[in-house]
Structure 1
Amino acid sequence: MDTAAFLRRIGLTRHDGPSVEALFALHAAFADTVPYESVQYQLGKGGPLEPSAVAERILAREAGGYCFQLNGVFARFLTELGYQVTMHRGGVQTMTRPARVDASHLVLTVHGLDDDPQKAWLVDVGLGDGLFTPMPLEAGTARQDPFELRLRPSEIVDGWRLDHDPRSTLAGMDFESATATLAAFEDQHAYLSVAPDSPFLRLCAAYRRKAGSVVILRSLSLIETFDDRIDSTLLETPADFYAALNDIFGLPCSHLSPAERDQIFARALAQYEVWLAAQNTN
Structure 2
Amino acid sequence: MDIPGYLRRLGLSRLADAPPTAAGLRALHVAHVEKVAYEALEIWLGRPTTVDPEESAARILRGRGGYCYHLNGAFSQLIRELGYEVTRHVGGVQNRGDEPGITANHLVLTVHGLPTEDNPGGAWLADLGLGDALHEPLPLIEGTYRQGPFTYGLRPSHIAPGGWRLDHDPAGSFLGMDFDPEPARMSAFVAKHNHLSTSPESGFVRVATVQRRDSSGVDSLRGLVLTRLGAGTRSLTLETEDDYYAALADVFGLTMADVTPEERAKLWSRLAEAHERWLYKEDP
The normalised TM-score by structure 2 is 0.93
1:233 to 231, 236, 244: 236
Deviation at 1:257, TM superposition (A): 2.2
Q: CA RMSD in A?
A: 1.7
Check 1:114–1:89 CA distance in 2 against 1; reply closer, same or farther (3 A cut): same
CA drift of 1:114 comes to 6.0
- 2:4 is matched with 4
Q: Which runs of 5+ in 2 are unaligned?
A: none
Aligned partner (choices 142, 147, 151) of residue 148 of structure 1: 151
- Do the aligned residues in 2 keep the contact of 1:111 with 1:117 (CA within 8 Å)? no
What are structure 1's unaligned runs of at least 5 residues?
none
1:248 to 1:145, Cα distance in 2 relative to 1, 3 A: same
Amino acid at match of 1:56: A
Local SS of the residue matching 1:42: helix
Residues 8-87 of structure 1: pairs in structure 2 closer than 5 A:
8-15=8-15, 16-61=18-63, 63-87=64-88
Identity percentage of aligned residues: 45
* Equivalent residue runs for 1:167-182 within 5 Å: 167-182=171-186
Q: Which residue of 2 aligns with 1:209?
A: 213
What is the identity, as a one-letter code, of the residue corresponding to 1:2?
Answer: D
Deviation at 1:192, TM superposition (A): 1.5
Supply the distance in 1 between the matched residues of 2:7 and 2:256 (Cα, whole angstroms).
22
Change in Cα spacing, 1:117 to 1:2, as seen in structure 2 (3 Å) is farther
Q: 2:270 is matched with which residue? A: 267
Q: State yes or no: 1:277 paired with 2:284.
A: no
Q: Distance in 2 between matches of 1:155 and 1:273?
A: 42
Matched letter for residue 193 of structure 1: S
2:254 and 2:214 map into 1 onto residues whose CA distance is 16
Residue 187 (structure 1) aligned to one of 181, 186, 191:
191
Paired residue secondary structure (2:151): strand
In the TM superposition, what whole-angstrom CA distance separates every residue of 1:228-264 from its partner, at most 9, and x where no partner exists?
A: 2112121110000001111111111122222211221
In structure 2, how many angstroms separate the alpha carbons of the residues matched to 1:146 and 1:270?
34
Instruction: Tell me the distance in 1 between the aligned counterparts of 2:153 and 2:199.
Output: 33
Task: Give how far 1:59 is off.
Answer: 0.6
- Residue 196 of structure 1 deviates from its aligned partner by 3.5
Aligned length: 278
User: Any conservation in 2 of the 1:146–1:214 contact (CA below 8 Å)?
Assistant: no
The alpha-carbon deviation at position 191 of structure 1 amounts to 1.8
Q: 1:195 to 1:24 in 2, by over 3 A?
A: same
* 1:89 partner amino acid: V
- Please identify, of 155-164 and 114-123, the stretch whose mean Cα deviation from structure 2 is larger: 114-123
Deviations 1:202-236 (A, max 9, x none): 1111000111110000000110111x211212111
| In 2: Cα distance, 1:212 partner to 1:205 partner | 20
**8 Å Cα contact 1:45-1:194 kept in structure 2:** no
Query: What are the superposed Cα offsets for residues 171-226 of structure 1, whole Å, 9 maximum, x if unpaired?
Result: 11111111111111111112222333322121111000111110000000110111
Shift, 1:269, TM fit: 2.0
Q: In the alignment, residue 106 of structure 1 is paired with which amino acid?
A: L
- CA-to-partner distance for each residue in 1:125-171, whole Å, 9 max, x for gaps? 00001110000111101111121011011121121111101111211
Partner of 2:164: 160
CA contact (8 A) 1:192 1:200 kept: yes
Q: 1:121 and 2:120 equivalent?
A: no
Q: Using the alignment, how far apart are the partners of 1:19 and 1:212 within structure 2?
A: 25
